[in-house]
Amino acid sequence: MRENRLYGELNVGDTASIKRVCTANDLYIFAHASGNLNPLHLPDEAHHSHSEAIAPAMWVGALVSAVLGNILPGAGTLYRSQSFRFGDRVHVGDVLNVTVTVRAKLGDGVVELGTAVTGRGGDKVAEGIAEVLAPSQKVRCDDTNVPELLVQRHRHFDRLLESCKGLQPIATAVAVPEDKASLGGALLAAEHGLIRPILVGAAKTIAAVAKEIGASLDGIEIVNTVGDDAAAAMAVELARTGKAEAIMKGHLHTDTLLHHVVKHDSGLCTNRRLSHVFVMDVPGLGQVLIVSDAAINIAPDLAAKVDITQNAIDVALALGIDAPKVGVLSAVETVTPKIPSTIDAAVLSKMAERGQIKGAVVDGPLAMDNAIDVEAARTKGIASLVAGHADILIVPNLEAGNMLAKELVFVAQAEAAGLALGATVPIILTSRADGERARLASCAIAALYRAWRADGQALVHLDRAAE
């Protein structure tokens, strides 16, 4: 319990202080609250030459009010004036000491306090004088609960795109890019050097859409076909003959495209079942979250889940997640014969222990809460390397996976990118609802996956990191 200090209880020389670490989220929140969008103060901006963004001086000054309002004099304190002289600059990661000291009692409840903020090695960051009206009533209180804030940042996808710089663009057969979203997404990825698109579809329609969106098709190969089925077949043929290193879904049904991919004579089949992998950049999570399978396998049996799990692990390894942690989901975290998915989860865990699933730590069954939340796992007494730390979530069926992925996107404001794996080439499956960054990230994942397949080395590292 904290107790405030009334005017009569204050003495010259009384002092109080707090410590505070400057974080990137602090700077984003201050930018929103103040409207100050100076790029010098925004992390990840390219408009300044400093290694870290500089904290706004008034953010530093605002820390003084935390001491005045919470400790000395405490609850009920009101500002009359505040002066500052600013010295050293504050950067993300700096630890600050904020101190106030009573200098004088001026009568009528008014108190003068010296204010100081120090940073690295005791360097003076800010100093000044505050005049406040001391509390008039005694108050004892706990820390007041205020609504939590979630800063919507998609920094993981930023790192994906950055890691692709210097890679050769992937020759990509884009099947039926005959609407604004699919053609625009392919051309945007080409502009960023991620893919070299080969547009497969009705040439006249593609040209009309390009004109509508104001895009140039100069230098871009177009393979004229009639109908979605013919375009899907041609895209697969381009991949089979090595003219394309990836396939990208355009304005056609996924089933139409995958029908040609999985044909026995397509030349793209492997001994691995085809499955879709969502890579989710979820605000507030310290790592990407991989979800599989939410788009292809409706009710996978155990054999299919083995391939689904291994495909997801391969994507994680390609993204530099060392020894990824795989949580196999069900409704409960105990093996229950009445719930078949719990038995599959337990078998997958044992198969990973025996080396039948490689490259990751696999555990299940886990419920969603204790797969990603440490406290939920502790509350239920689950002792596991995965519980609370899952990088990959393997869902029991397509319905569960589809709902989970869409909830993350439309409720948790995640961005979702993904691939279909299990063929000889990655298949970029985008949705009309995908934004530009999600489309770019899908192409980036395909590029990074191809590079990893070539030499087994990841070009990016998306291991769990603190916000």
- Per residue in 341-356, pLDDT tens? 999 999 999 999 999 9
The answer to whether the Cα torsion of 53, 59, 64, 67 is positive or negative is negative
Amino acid in position 346: A
Give the pLDDT band (50/70/90) at residue 467: very low
Q: 63: Cβ–Cβ under 8 A, 6 or more apart, which residues? A: 18, 20, 96, 98, 117
The alpha helices in 241-373, defined as continuous H runs, are 254-261, 302-318, 340-353, 368-372
Write down the pTM of the prediction: 0.78
- Per residue in 12-29, pLDDT tens? 999 999 999 998 889 999
Q: Which of the two residues, 53 and 202, has the higher pLDDT score?
A: 202
Residue-level pLDDT at 465: 52
Q: Residue 21 forms beta bridges with which residues?
A: 95
- Per residue in 358-416, pLDDT tens? 999 999 999 999 999 888 998 989 989 999 999 999 999 999 999 999 999 899 888 89
- Per residue in 425-444, pLDDT tens? 999 998 767 777 788 899 99
Res 70 pLDDT > 90:
yes
Res 211 pLDDT > 70:
yes
The alpha helices in 249-339, defined as continuous H runs, are 254-261, 302-318
Res 452 pLDDT > 80:
yes
Q: What token pair was written down for 246?
A: 């990836």
Across 276-303, average pLDDT = 92
The CATH number of the structural domain formed by 155-324+391-455 is 3.40.718.10
Across 177-205, average pLDDT = 94
Res 236 pLDDT > 90:
yes
Res 190 pLDDT > 50:
yes
Candidates 64, 287, 41, 273; CA nearest to 160 is 287
43: left (phi over 0), alpha (psi -120 to 50) or beta: beta
Res 49 pLDDT > 90:
no
Angle at CA of residue 122, ends 119 and 127, nearest 5°? 70
- Per residue in 142-167, pLDDT tens? 776 778 777 766 678 888 888 898 89
pLDDT averaged over every residue in the chain: 91
Res 46 pLDDT > 50:
no
Give the pLDDT band (50/70/90) at residue 53: confident
Give the pLDDT band (50/70/90) at residue 466: very low
Residue-level pLDDT at 44: 66
Using CA atoms, how far apart are residues 66 and 18, in angstroms rounded to an integer?
8
Nearest-10 crossing angle of helices 436-455, 302-318: 90
For residue 321, the Cα-to-chain-centroid distance in whole angstroms is 14
- Per residue in 74-108, pLDDT tens? 999 999 999 999 999 999 889 999 999 999 999 99
Residue-level pLDDT at 47: 46
Identical fold for domains 2-141 and 155-324+391-455, yes or no, is: no
Strand-pair category, 275-281 with 289-292: antiparallel
- Per residue in 295-319, pLDDT tens? 999 999 999 999 999 999 999 999 9
Which top CATH class is 2-141? alpha beta
Distances (CA, A) of 404 to 113, 289, 339, 371, 401: 53, 11, 19, 13, 5
Using CA atoms, how far apart are residues 380 and 267, in angstroms rounded to an integer?
48
Domain boundaries, the chain: 2-141, 155-324+391-455
For residue 148, the Cα-to-chain-centroid distance in whole angstroms is 19
